[in-house]
């Protein structure tokens, strides 16, 4: 079944000390709601247009309760238990984090001095708050979170960073990040049920598994998806052993050897022979577990009108990764002089050597150990550069998967330092990110950088970026839903329980029964109907982007704003198009914000008794995470006083702020 | 409480929006859009081109269309596998059995059978096909549709100049050209352009207030972060506002087409995409690209290729017939392209793998000599035998037929020179003039 976590976000505002804590947006709004409950009826009477005569101002206020919200009840429900338990940070390493951040700043300062670069001014607390939420939690702060942080006198940036790195939002955001790189989809092929692997990725982030351990697991795993979900990485390229090698090297070693699959690389050093030598490590990987589904499939064709999906279900239970050393031969049309067509190749790594301890292991294990070894500096360099880009908007090497002699790092001493750092941290990615966001370099006002200018980027600040599709979606959901986690993607165990049958032993009848149970929970259409019923609003599912099906259809909000189809590595984009604007104008997700019962609706409602200035502040804080300037306040007041009703004015203001560049760009 | 209010007054939305576009964004609608808005460079380019006003419909086969199973069969060879060859209307020329309708109108087609490209990777090869240039790190090259707008301007003031139907993220769009040449993507031809209906409560006046308010609040941010990213969004807001205010939205609605015609195009996403393309071109869109994915048949190709090729056959033949019936074929260039071919040798999974050495593409309509075949592949369909055409030659031929200034050099922001079509040679043998 769909994991259905009702309620949960007991947000522990850890950056607060002492008495202030544990008053998150949810509880505070609920309190606010009950406080103003007696006023609601009166306010409604004043604000609802097209009111009946009996409800006009001055006449008797209506006694009825306000109409029900059109938003799904699950997203309005009070959370009752934690969304997930995220691995805790070591508070004791704070001094080292600060020191490490300073070391990075010193390298940059020396570089700027040499290149005559003036760094960008430092961020205000408000700007820092919004950016760090988007970069670590993948969404804007809620009104309450913004108010809590900005409350004087102590605006503790370090505590805020730590709070975010331990939040479910961090897990969600970095899941989206890896989903784009690893091409995470629910069904990459008809016989592959991939939810266990997707959950495994999410869970590896939740437990903050060291990166080298994680990658080693994925490169060496064997078995069925429900036994060992890490096999998903291998199965993503099932049946394509050479592209598998190409993709693996590209993602984890930042190197493109794909051209050498067919011929010597035209402008890099890689030869076709080298490609085959590397591929020889994994060529003995099999994706069929040696079990046969033939008899059950035959019976299914005889007994069932539409046996196809049942047979695919059986095949899923016969798809497991196994490995046996097997010689690899060059292609029959191999055209170079260094070897003959169809010759057996001896495995060789691209550089360095297989670690001594693994030299007698099977070849696939040798390959995995070589990739993640501390001695394989390119592995560390690649992830250091990737995460630097994640935080600073641009890699020191661009593209991040095309390291080569002709493409040097923008600041090579910095890249080597970052490589040392990730090695020192034993591939603790979260601690590494903690250091990066603690630098002055990160905490500067974003600058516009156009790669087409031909001028190298020297990191005077992070590069200005548009929100990713997921950041935009999750930010709007923050304005709508009290519980953005009403549905979560299923766990490995849940899928295993529903999908696992022993195809060698099971009878036809029980296999069919198991399939029917599985289909009820995970079958196409049926799963979507469950979701629509629980969290659907005008066809949209109001949950975190990380928990939505993948890939989404082309017309979905997330795809419109550039989420990848997850067929090509890092296929997401942030290019502007007209349909995006139409969606911001008129799309269901914009409407959901303006619905009765949404977070922002309630927050506005609660502030009405304190006058229009307070409402204006609430709207600005909710959308832009800052109070209005004097002139903006004047504009907003004008808008509200001249609108047909004050409420229409507030609606216009919310809509207007959503449709600013300031909203969708991360400054 | 409600955030919306219906004023009850109905001013013409179009009037309001046209005024609004000027108010909110500080531009004059009439002055900015359409031909008058072209840069001096583009205007100059226009002066050297033929006066023909050609539209282009590009049919992009994604995943790499097998040439042996479509337009270049090798009957009698083991490589041909299960796909049979059939006669076409052109004497001596055979197509595969999966494209019978196109075979029946081969007199309208120019088939290139010795296309060859640089790379066997989908993304890079598709990029090359769309832009005529190899992908590099620092800049994005413009796609053909955006070049047509840059050189010739939009044909309609209200409609976008360039529309993509069913395309994914990787389309290079306007590349380094001005954001106003960015294509408008349509995800699903049945749904057309979505979210174009303003809610009932939202009056034109209120919409105008909202936009104007957003613009005024946004000024400080925009001034502080001036650059191409912000400018592109500003442009999209202008375009979206203009589109809502115009009468062009109907062009996106294929439900208005007669049932009989729908059958002619086929009840498939691609067929409907082709029909929408014709509708858009008829209404004044200069370039439409329709994508048909799923050609990457590494396994069981003979089980899958028939259906895919039938979608193509019905959609493209339906389009050509419809354009012909309406007298639009003289002014509309139809291009069938794919990133590369598939191996003649059938692999151990009964599929065909990537094959950049040789493949087929097709041209029809404006400026094209029907019934022609250019280039031949060898007896296996493995390498070009004669008259090989590079991607740049193919795209330069398109540029010639569409009346684009393909010999002219254009400068990118980094100062490098680029040519429409990538500096290839137009293939005179298949051009009508």
Nearest CA in chain A to B196: A582
Tell me the C-alpha distance between B336 and B143, whole Å: 15
**pLDDT by residue (tens digit) across B173-197?**
999 999 999 999 999 999 999 999 8
Q: Look at B123 and A568 and tell me if their CB atoms are within 8 Å.
A: yes
Q: Look at A659 and B210 and tell me if their CB atoms are within 8 Å.
A: yes
Q: Residue with structure tokens 């404006």? A: B366
Q: How confident is the model at residue A268 (pLDDT cuts 50, 70, 90)?
A: low
Q: Look at B225 and A559 and tell me if their CB atoms are within 8 Å.
A: no
Q: How confident is the model at residue A64 (pLDDT cuts 50, 70, 90)?
A: low
When the pLDDT of each residue in chain A is averaged and rounded to a whole number, the result is 89
**pLDDT by residue (tens digit) across A494-529?**
999 999 999 999 999 999 999 999 999 998 788 889
Q: Look at B198 and A466 and tell me if their CB atoms are within 8 Å.
A: no
Q: Look at A47 and B1 and tell me if their CB atoms are within 8 Å.
A: yes
Helix (H) or strand (E) holding B21: helix B13-25
Question: Which pLDDT score is estimated for B49?
Answer: 40
Give alpha helix (H) positions in B48-143. 100-103, 122-131
Tell me the C-alpha distance between A515 and A311, whole Å: 10
- Where do the domains of chain A lie? 91-167+386-391+407-465
**Among A6-10, A239-243, A455-459, which stretch is predicted with the lowest mean pLDDT?**
A6-10
Handedness of CA A9, A12, A15, A20 (dihedral sign): positive
- What's the gap in Å between the CA of B71 and the closest CA on chain A? 25
Q: Look at B184 and A259 and tell me if their CB atoms are within 8 Å.
A: no
Correct CATH for B48-192+253-430 of 3.50.30.30, 3.10.28.10, 3.40.720.10, 3.40.50.720: 3.40.720.10
First vs last C-alpha separation in chain B: 68
**pLDDT by residue (tens digit) across A566-619?**
998 999 999 999 999 999 999 999 999 999 999 999 999 999 999 999 999 999
ipTM: 0.88
CA-closest candidate to residue A168, choices A391, A1, A7: A7
In 3-state terms chain B splits into helix, strand, coil percentages (rounded to 5) of 40, 15, 45
Question: Which pLDDT score is estimated for A430?
Answer: 98
Question: Which pLDDT score is estimated for A348?
Answer: 96
HSE on the CB side for A147, CA within 13 Å? 18
**pLDDT by residue (tens digit) across A320-367?**
999 999 999 998 889 899 999 999 999 999 999 999 999 999 999 999
**pLDDT by residue (tens digit) across B28-72?**
222 222 223 333 333 333 333 444 689 999 999 999 999 999 999
Select from A402, A582, A651 the Cβ nearest to the Cβ of B193: A582
Tell me the C-alpha distance between B152 and B177, whole Å: 14
* Structure tokens belonging to residue A27: 């509880």
Q: Which of residues 376-405 of B touch A (CB under 8 A)?
A: none
B313 inside 8 A of chain A by CB: no
- What's the gap in Å between the CA of B210 and the closest CA on chain A? 5
Q: In degrees, to the nearest 5, what angle opens at C-alpha A408 toward C-alphas A403 and A411?
A: 120
- Where do the domains of chain B lie? 11-41+205-251, 48-192+253-430
**pLDDT by residue (tens digit) across A213-246?**
999 999 999 999 999 999 999 999 988 889 899 9
> Count of residues for chain A?
667
Cβ atoms of B72 and B59 within 8 Å: the answer is: no
- What's the gap in Å between the CA of B32 and the closest CA on chain A? 17
- What's the gap in Å between the CA of A624 and the closest CA on chain B? 11
CA-closest candidate to residue A487, choices A27, A10, A75, A73: A75
* Structure tokens belonging to residue A342: 């169809």
* Structure tokens belonging to residue A393: 């908007």
| Higher per-residue confidence, A563 vs B204 | A563
Q: Look at A581 and B226 and tell me if their CB atoms are within 8 Å.
A: no
Q: Which of residues 316-355 of B touch A (CB under 8 A)?
A: 349, 354
Tell me the C-alpha distance between A62 and A45, whole Å: 7
For residue A381, pLDDT beyond 80: yes
Tell me the C-alpha distance between A427 and A372, whole Å: 10
Can you spell out the DSSP letters for A289-308? -S---HHHHHHHHHH-SS-H
Q: How confident is the model at residue A90 (pLDDT cuts 50, 70, 90)?
A: very high
Q: Look at B139 and A578 and tell me if their CB atoms are within 8 Å.
A: no
């Amino acid at each position: 079944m769909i994991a259905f976590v009702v309620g949960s976000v007991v947000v522990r505002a850890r950056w607060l000390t002492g008495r202030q804590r544990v008053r998150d947006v949810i509880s505070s709004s609920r309190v606010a709601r009950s406080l103003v409950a007696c006023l609601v009826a009166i306010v409604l009477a004043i604000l609802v247009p097209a009111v009946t005569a009996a409800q006009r101002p001055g006449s008797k206020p209506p006694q009825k309760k306000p109409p029900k919200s059109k938003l799904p009840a699950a997203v309005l429900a009070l959370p009752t238990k934690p969304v997930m338990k995220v691995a805790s940070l070591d508070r004791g390493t704070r001094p080292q984090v600060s020191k490490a951040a300073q070391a990075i700043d010193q390298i940059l300062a020396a570089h700027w001095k040499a290149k005559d670069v003036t760094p960008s001014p430092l961020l205000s607390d408000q700007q820092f708050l919004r950016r760090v939420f988007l970069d670590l939690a993948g969404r804007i702060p809620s009104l309450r979170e913004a108010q809590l942080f900005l409350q004087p006198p102590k605006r503790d940036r370090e505590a805020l960073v730590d709070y975010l790195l331990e939040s479910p939002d961090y897990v969600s955001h970095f899941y989206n990040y890896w989903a784009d790189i690893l091409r995470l989809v629910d069904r990459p092929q008809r016989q592959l049920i991939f939810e266990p692997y997707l959950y495994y990725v999410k869970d590896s982030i939740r437990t903050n598994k060291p990166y080298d351990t994680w990658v080693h697991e994925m490169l060496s795993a064997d078995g069925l998806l429900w036994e060992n979900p890490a096999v998903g990485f291998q199965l993503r390229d099932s049946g394509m052993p050479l592209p598998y090698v190409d993709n693996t090297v590209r993602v984890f070693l930042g190197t493109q050897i794909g051209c050498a699959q067919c011929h010597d690389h035209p402008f890099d050093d890689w030869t076709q022979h080298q490609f085959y030598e590397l591929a020889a490590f994994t060529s003995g990987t099999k994706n069929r577990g040696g079990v046969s589904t033939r008899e059950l499939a035959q019976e299914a064709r005889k007994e069932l009108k539409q046996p196809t999906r049942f047979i695919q279900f059986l095949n899923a239970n016969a798809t497991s990764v196994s490995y046996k050393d097997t010689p690899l031969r060059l292609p029959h049309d191999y055209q170079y002089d260094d070897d003959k067509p169809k010759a057996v190749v001896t495995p060789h790594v691209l550089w360095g050597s297989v670690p001594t301890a693994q030299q007698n292991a099977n070849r696939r294990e040798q390959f995995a150990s070589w990739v993640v070894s501390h001695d394989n500096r390119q592995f560390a360099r690649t992830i250091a550069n990737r995460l630097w880009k994640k935080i600073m908007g641009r890699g020191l090497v661009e593209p991040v998967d095309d390291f080569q002699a002709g493409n040097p790092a923008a600041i090579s001493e910095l890249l080597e330092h970052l490589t040392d750092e990730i090695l020192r941290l034993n591939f603790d990615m979260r601690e590494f990110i903690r250091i990066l966001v603690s630098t002055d370099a990160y905490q500067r006002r974003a600058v516009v950088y156009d790669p087409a200018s031909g001028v190298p980027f020297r990191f005077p600040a992070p590069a200005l970026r548009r929100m990713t599709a997921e950041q935009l979606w999750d930010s709007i959901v923050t304005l709508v839903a009290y519980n953005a986690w009403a549905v979560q993607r299923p766990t490995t165990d849940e899928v295993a329980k529903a999908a696992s049958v022993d195809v060698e032993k099971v009878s036809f009848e029980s296999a069919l029964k198991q399939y029917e149970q599985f289909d009820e929970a995970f079958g196409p259409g049926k799963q979507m109907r469950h979701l629509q019923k629980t969290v659907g609003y005008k066809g949209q599912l109001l949950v975190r982007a990380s928990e939505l099906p993948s890939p989404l259809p082309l017309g979905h909000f997330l795809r419109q704003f550039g989420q990848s189809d997850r067929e090509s590595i890092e296929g997401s984009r942030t290019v502007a198009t007209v349909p995006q604007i139409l969606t911001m104008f008129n799309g269901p997700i914009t409407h959901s914000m303006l619905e009765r019962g949404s977070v922002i609706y309630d927050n506005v409602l609660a502030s009405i008794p304190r006058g229009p200035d307070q409402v204006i502040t609430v709207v600005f804080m909710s959308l832009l995470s800052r109070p209005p300037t004097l002139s903006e306040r004047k504009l907003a007041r004008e808008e509200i006083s001249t609108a047909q009703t004050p409420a229409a004015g507030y609606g216009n203001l919310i809509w207007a702020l959503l449709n600013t560049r300031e909203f969708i760009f991360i400054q | 409480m409600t955030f919306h209010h219906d004023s009850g007054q109905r001013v013409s939305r179009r009037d309001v929006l046209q005024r609004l576009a000027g108010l909110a964004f500080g531009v004059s609608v009439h002055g900015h859009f359409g031909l008058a808005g072209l840069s001096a460079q583009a205007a100059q380019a226009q002066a050297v081109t033929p006066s023909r006003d050609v539209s282009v419909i590009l049919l992009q086969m994604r995943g790499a269309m097998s040439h042996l199973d479509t337009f270049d069969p090798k009957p009698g060879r083991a490589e041909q596998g299960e796909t049979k060859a059939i006669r076409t209307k052109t004497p001596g020329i055979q197509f595969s059995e999966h494209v019978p309708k196109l075979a029946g109108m081969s007199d309208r087609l120019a088939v290139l059978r010795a296309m060859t490209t640089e790379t066997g990777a989908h993304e890079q090869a598709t990029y090359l096909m769309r832009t005529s240039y190899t992908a590099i790190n620092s800049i994005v090259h413009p796609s053909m549709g955006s070049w047509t707008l840059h050189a010739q301007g939009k044909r309609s003031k209200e409609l976008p100049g360039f529309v993509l139907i069913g395309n994914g993220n990787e389309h290079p769009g306007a590349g380094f050209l001005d954001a106003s040449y960015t294509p408008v993507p349509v995800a699903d031809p049945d749904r057309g352009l979505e979210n174009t209906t303003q809610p009932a409560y939202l009056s034109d006046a209120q919409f105008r207030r909202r936009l104007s308010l957003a613009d005024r609040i946004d000024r400080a941010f925009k001034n502080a972060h001036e650059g191409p990213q912000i400018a592109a969004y500003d442009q999209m807001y202008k375009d979206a506002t203009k589109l809502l205010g115009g009468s062009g939205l109907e062009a996106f609605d294929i439900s208005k087409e007669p049932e009989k015609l729908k059958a002619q195009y086929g009840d498939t996403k691609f067929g409907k995409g082709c029909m929408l393309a014709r509708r858009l071109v008829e209404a004044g869109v200069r370039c439409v690209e329709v994508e048909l994915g799923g050609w990457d048949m590494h396994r069981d190709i003979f089980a899958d290729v028939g259906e895919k090729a039938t979608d193509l056959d019905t959609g493209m033949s339906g389009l050509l017939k419809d354009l012909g019936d309406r007298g639009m074929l003289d002014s509309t260039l139809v291009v069938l392209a794919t990133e590369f071919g598939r191996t003649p040798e059938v692999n151990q999974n009964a599929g065909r793998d990537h094959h950049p050495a040789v493949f087929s593409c097709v041209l029809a309509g404006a400026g094209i000599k029907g019934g022609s075949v250019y280039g031949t592949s060898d007896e296996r369909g493995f390498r070009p035998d004669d008259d090989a055409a590079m991607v740049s030659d193919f795209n330069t031929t398109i540029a010639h037929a569409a009346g684009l200034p393909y010999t002219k050099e254009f400068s990118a922001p980094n100062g490098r020179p680029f040519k429409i079509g990538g500096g290839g040679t137009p293939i005179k043998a298949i051009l009508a003039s």
